A and B are shown apart, each in its own frame.
Chain A
């Protein structure tokens, strides 16, 4: 049933994005690996192809509208359609709350994490509207709900914004058969997750009922679920994948 679908996964050169792209490809979804990092993005594509999947790399900076528009155009050119968008690209700075975040840093986090998600959604929604079917999945964060023990305040606020964008788009795109949902992971065992430092990670594990971090595959499974036909009535939802660390 997922065969023949076409997905864009942003930030798929590393971390969670790689797992999502691979999991989708294993269900015969054609995947566009979108990232600013060409070399590692191409590596994701090679891995998918070696495993028998179908993927291409599109170099795109999600914070530039002209590039997200091109990303969607290249997707349609390569695969003829666009069914699924996973807004996974995001950045985090660990600037402590009580230190002043520079204006440039604040803007950069919001540019990538919020404006990027908005540009990608607005570029992807037209082909989805035309075909009356679409799935948009935005990677939020537990930090967007309760703040984070070590993440920057701009990161936490940007992820809260992502989850709000999700609901607003869910409402507007529902009549077109497009669902828009968010996944709110706890700390994920990736380079970005581990950058929080071993103390924070150990404390988080101790405070998580399931006693471990999420794996990137855990997030990929959740994304596949939300992208599937079976999740057609789930929209505007924030799916927690946090091992019970926050039950709100």
Chain B
């Protein structure tokens, strides 16, 4: 897309590669001549991902033996690993007084511990060859607040912090570490969000989409291929001076949004059913 960012012969490890954004990232790597170790719990459209340069492997990013095994087998297959894209992630929302302990631990396990285990597994290879790229798929929720996002925002904020720590630690080995902080991407995760907003506000799907997009200056969702292109850029030699950065892809949303505006679209009326009355108390 746009111009060529050659990643010929680079070997990437992409987590959460089974659907949505992960699948778009895998396709972008393949189109730019990279090899891909693609892992997920399950794969949608497995046939679409059949390609001589892809190694599909089922695995759980929260299980040490799965992660270590995936990287070992991937290296056996392709001889090395140059790039890690920590993309696997889950979301759930609860207000603070209702946080479910099991779900809290689960989201931190997948969104935060998973990237740690994956980075731990690949860095020895990257250090040895004095070249590596780690891209953490964080979120706009890492840099802004919105009600009911405790677990998700904490995990994505944590991932942005890890990005900076690893960038500082690994730079000397020729490894750069950056994050991408997207707003809403057109993926199954966002479809679920649209349905929830529609239910909540008693709107049809089209009206719900319009309501959500009313706070995005560009008035559209992100296409997964746009995030994939940013991943390619951050993996290429063109970005070799960019390190420890959180690249925001949000159509201007976080430049203009206020928590109140966000709440208008999401759940404010659940938290503050009668906000004026509460303010007067």
Contact = CB atoms under 8 A, between A and B. Distances in A.
B242 interface: yes
Interface of B: 1-3, 163-164, 167-168, 171-172, 176, 217-220, 222-223, 225-226, 229-230, 233, 238-245, 247-252, 254-256
Contacts of B252: 170-171, 174, 235-236
Interface residues of A, number: 37
A222 interface: yes
Contacts of B248: 234, 236-237
A38 B109 CA distance: 60
A211 B1 contact: no
Contact of A244 (B167, B225, B250): B167
Contacts of B243: 209-210, 242-244, 247
10 contacts: A1-B3, A171-B255, A174-B217, A210-B171, A218-B239, A221-B238, A229-B1, A231-B226, A233-B223, A243-B241
Q: In the complex, which of the residues B222, B243, B247 has the most CB atoms of chain A within 10 Å of its own CB atom?
A: B243
B167 A209 contact: yes
Q: Is the interface of A mostly helix, strand, loop or mixed?
A: loop
Contacts of B223: 233
Given A235-B218, A236-B255, A244 B239 contact: no
Interface string A216-247: 00100110110011111111110111111001
Contact of A171 (B3, B217, B238): B217
Please provide the 10 A-B residue pairs with the shortest distance between their CB atoms, ordered closest to farther: A236-B255, A209-B171, A230-B229, A174-B217, A221-B238, A228-B2, A247-B244, A244-B243, A218-B241, A247-B164
Interface string A197-211: 000000000001111
A20 interface: no
B3 A27 contact: yes
A242 B126 CA distance: 21
Given A175-B217, A208-B171, A236-B254, 6 more contacts: A186-B241, A218-B242, A228-B229, A233-B251, A236-B255, A244-B171
Given A170-B217, A229-B2, A236 B256 contact: yes
Contacts of B240: 210, 218
A242 B238 CA distance: 13
A127 to B, nearest CB: 20
A232 B242 CA distance: 20
A234 to B, nearest CB: 5
Contact of B172 (A209, A237, A241): A209
Nearest to A168: B255
Contacts of A235: 217-218, 250-252, 255
Contacts of A224: 3, 238
Contacts of B220: 233
B218 A174 contact: yes
A167 B222 CA distance: 19
A95 interface: no
B251 A2 contact: no
Contacts of A231: 2, 226, 229-230
Nearest to B182: A233
